[in-house]
Amino acid sequence: MKKNIESHDSLWDEYNPSEYMKDSRLGLDEKLVRFISKEKNEPEWMLERRLESFRVYQEKAFPTWGPDLSKLNLEGITYYAKASDKQAESWDDVPEDIKNTFNKLGIPQAEQEVLAGVGAQYESTVIYHSLKEEYKKKGVIFEDLDVALQKYPELVKPHFMRVMPPSLHKFSALHGAVWSGGTFLYIPAGVKLEQPLQAYFRMNAKGMGQFEHTLIIIEKGAEAHYIEGCSAPRYGADSLHAGGVEIYVEEGARFRYSSVESWSKDAYNLNTKRALVKKGAHMEWVGGNFGSNITMLYPCSILVGEGASADHLGVAFAGEGQTQDTGAKVIHIAKNTSSNIVMKSISKGGGKALYRGLVDIKEGAENAVVSVKCDALLLDEFSSSDTVPVIKINDSSAAIAHEASAGKISAEDMFYLRSRGLKEDEAAAMIVNGFIEPITKELPLEYSVEMNRMIELEMEGSVG
Amino acid sequence: MNILEVKNLKVSAGKKLILDGLSFSIAEGESLVVMGPNGSGKSTLANVLMGHPDYEVKAGKIIFKGKDITKAKPEERAAAGLFLSFQEPREITGLELFPFLFDSYKALNKSKSKKADSVFVFKDKLDKELLNLNIKDDWSSRGLNQDFSGGEKKKSELLQLALANPDLAILDEIDSGLDVDALEIAGQALQRFKKKKKSLLVVTHYQRVLKYIKPDKVLVMAGGKIKERGGPELASRLEKEGFKAFV
């Protein structure tokens, strides 16, 4: 089992010399918050919001209802570092060592054929951004958020941290104080994108925090799919990821946000993702969570308009020493809203997977329809899974369906596949990939292939 | 030469001895039929020969193509040229059938240390077998046996048998769950297999499949033991008299 865990980390274990980290500093105070804002030449209102967030951050305690975060030392984190001075427009401008890392992750090839645009975050500054010409003509904006803040303040200011306020919890407040880089995506009314837009995030330096902010606005009747993948190399020092995603899905619009996150085994992944869904609009979350020490992630849809709907699909894989505390949150505020939650978890080698969900049906949200289904697969007797599905119903017209299952890989299924010539770990990986197929089939091909490959790597040498 | 030799095989599940000293052999190109009432141990025998991990071999040996495979893993037996068609094939949710068949095909061919066939060669073979078994195109979008009817599952086993092209196929109740037309298709598939000078071990409760497979040898099992041995005439006798005499 040890061997397996070491073996698949070769990619994540390689790192580039972090020359630029020398001048960075550990810990957080008001001076650093002001420094970040000044360094980025931000408008006064953004500095004020950062400082307000910092005040909230200082007041808030760690959440006590979830996994144990007592080993997370917030004073030992680097909150801001710059990897590259200028943003690259074309692949040729990207520095060689950074390019090597991306090459290993297969980014440029993927971009050529399938993807409409690429925004890749390396440390705190987005270094590469591109968007196909046709989308530019349609008025689609796909930018580094730091750039968008300067170029499109009229779009950024009214939306920034509105659906994801600093007051939510300690890490959204921390995020508001030190956020850096990230993506701004704007789809004008009526524009429908058929190909997914992609960004790739990657933490590199040891003990580095990453606080990218993703702000997405899908105007009336528009349709788009955005996908991001995250990975971090593996280091001894704890690293913290407290990203923020906020999405505004306007009337009649449809949006899908997909992410495949594969964090190094020491990272704390404490992410906040929220969407505001207007009348007749539809929001879809598709997520895969791999790696990390502790992940806490509960994408949230707030259904504020009549007939709004949301789908939440997720996979979490908890390996040795890992806790995946993930789930979904849907708040039904308007009439005739519906939500559909499908979560699958896999735990192995003592890993803990927990589904934590909240469906909140407010008074007056008549005829809400809710379906929650969570399935857990345990690969050995040391691993565990649990569900904490909270459903609050303040309107009696709601129709709710809830199903949960937990089970092991069937020995008969294993024997069947092995009798067809497949080795034990291959057979187990096939069964696990079959188990998560309802989620992976929703991802673009190269992502579902990558997710299946990650499962195979996790399963190598793990049985028998 | 014998393709399979089973010598004094004693097998337990938990504390219970369920196969009690079986000895028999199958020569190359031969068909052996194992008959017996429910609970006689004939299905257990099929699973034990394929290496089911729930059973413990307490004594005896299984020699396949001259090699002792008593302790071999199921995948090693498959690679050596042994195949088991399951009485109740498993439904593997979400595992796409055709990619699975290709993975299995590659695994078996690699182990035979032949040059692994290309996907195009595989596709030709697959298309031919789909036609032979009268399988519809929509199988390409299905999971492995997922939501298959009883008859479809047996066709899936026969498809896998044809692609695996083993030296010895063990068929556990291949004829159950088949209607008359499906039985005809299955029977022809087995005849095609036999034409290649391959060997068969047919475990069956009924006689129906014997219309297509003329057995060279017949064993009657009851209570984990072989109660009677004979040729095709024994099968005919059982058809008339039933298993009563052996229970």
Using an 8 Å CB-CB cutoff, list chain B residues near A411: 53-54
- Residue from B104, B106, B148 whose CB has the most chain A CBs within 10 Å, to mutate: B104
Highest average pLDDT, of A64-78, A80-94, A98-112, A310-324, comes from: A310-324
- Local structure of B191: helix, strand or coil: helix
Question: Chain-wide mean pLDDT for chain B?
Answer: 92
Residue pLDDT, tens place only, A270-299: 999 999 999 999 999 999 998 889 999 999
Cα dihedral sign, A423-A428-A429-A435? positive
Using an 8 Å CB-CB cutoff, list chain B residues near A415: 47, 50-53, 74
Residue B184 belongs to a domain with what CATH number? 3.40.50.300
Task: Give residue A237's pLDDT.
Answer: 53
Give dist(CA A133, CA A74) in Å, integer: 42
**What CA–CA distances, in Å, run from B60 to A419, B13, B220, B225?**
22, 15, 20, 14
Residue pLDDT, tens place only, B159-217: 999 999 999 999 999 988 888 889 999 999 999 999 999 999 999 987 888 889 899 99
Using an 8 Å CB-CB cutoff, list chain B residues near A418: 51, 73-75, 78
* DSSP sequence for A123-152: TTEEEEEEE-HHHHHTT-EEEEHHHHHHH-
Considering its fold, how many domains does chain B have in total? Answer: 1
Q: What is the 3-state secondary structure of A16-42?
A: CCCHHHHHCCECCCHHHHHHHHHHCCC
Give dist(CA B90, CA B190) in Å, integer: 21
Residue pLDDT, tens place only, B85-109: 999 999 999 999 999 999 999 999 8
Q: Does A426 touch chain B (CB under 8 A)?
A: yes
Residue pLDDT, tens place only, A28-51: 899 999 999 998 999 999 999 999
- Report the DSSP beta bridge partners of residue A285: A257, A312
Residue B126 class from Cβ within 10 Å (0-12 exposed, 13-18 middle, 19+ buried)? buried
Q: Tell me: pLDDT of A131 over 90.
A: no
pTM of the model as a whole: 0.85
Q: Does A430 touch chain B (CB under 8 A)?
A: yes
Q: Tell me: pLDDT of A21 over 60.
A: no
Q: Which of B53, B143, B160 sits opposite A420 (nearest CB)?
A: B160
Highest average pLDDT, of A27-36, A63-72, A217-226, comes from: A217-226
Contacts of A159 (CB under 8 A, 6+ apart): A215, A217, A246, A248
Q: β-strand B168-172 against A300-303: which pairing, if any?
A: unpaired
Task: Give residue B158's pLDDT.
Answer: 96
Q: Which of B106, B176, B100 shows the shortest CA–CA distance to B145?
A: B100
Residue with tokens 């009690």: B20
Q: What is the mean pLDDT of residues B73-96?
A: 96
Report residue A157: phi and psi, to 5°: -55, -50
Question: Chain-wide mean pLDDT for chain A?
Answer: 84
Q: Does A61 touch chain B (CB under 8 A)?
A: no
Domain range holding B152? 2-246
B170 to chain A: closest CA residue:
A419
Instruction: Label residue B247 by pLDDT band (50, 70, 90).
Output: low
* DSSP sequence for A71-114: T--GGG-B----S-SS-BSSGGGS-HHHHHHHHHHTHHHHHHHT
Task: Give residue A1's pLDDT.
Answer: 33
Instruction: Label residue A7 by pLDDT band (50, 70, 90).
Output: very low
Q: Does A315 touch chain B (CB under 8 A)?
A: no
Give dist(CA A313, CA A341) in Å, integer: 6
Spatial strand order of the sheet with B56-64 comes to: B16-27, B2-13, B56-64, B67-68
For chain B, the maximum distance between any two Cα atoms, rounded to a whole number of angstroms, is 54
Q: Which of B92, B108, B111 sits opposite A413 (nearest CB)?
A: B92
Q: Tell me: pLDDT of A236 over 60.
A: no
Task: Give residue A261's pLDDT.
Answer: 83
Give dist(CA B177, CA A238) in Å, integer: 58
- Residue from A410, A419, A445 whose CB has the most chain B CBs within 10 Å, to mutate: A419
Task: Indicate the range of A329-333, A446-450, B62-66, B172-176 predicted with least confidence.
Answer: A446-450
Kindly list the domain boundaries of chain A, sorted by start residue. 2-459
Give dist(CA B76, CA B29) in Å, integer: 22
Q: In this structure, which amino acid lies at residue A275?
A: A
First vs last C-alpha separation in chain B: 33
* DSSP sequence for A313-357: EEEEEE-TT-EEEEEEEEEE-STT-EEEEEEEEEE-TT-EEEEEE
Highest average pLDDT, of A3-7, A338-342, A456-460, comes from: A338-342
- Local structure of B63: helix, strand or coil: strand
Residue A273 contacts residue A257 (beta carbons within 8 Å): yes
Q: What is the mean pLDDT of residues B60-87?
A: 97
DSSP type of residue A395:
-
Instruction: Label residue A402 by pLDDT band (50, 70, 90).
Output: very high
CA distance A424 to chain B (A): 8
CA distance B114 to chain A (A): 15
CB atoms A433 and B94 under 8 Å: yes
Residue pLDDT, tens place only, A101-125: 556 655 554 444 434 445 555 555 5
Task: Give residue B211's pLDDT.
Answer: 87
Count of Cβ atoms closer than 10 Å to residue A464 Cβ: 10
DSSP type of residue A208:
B
Q: Does A437 touch chain B (CB under 8 A)?
A: yes
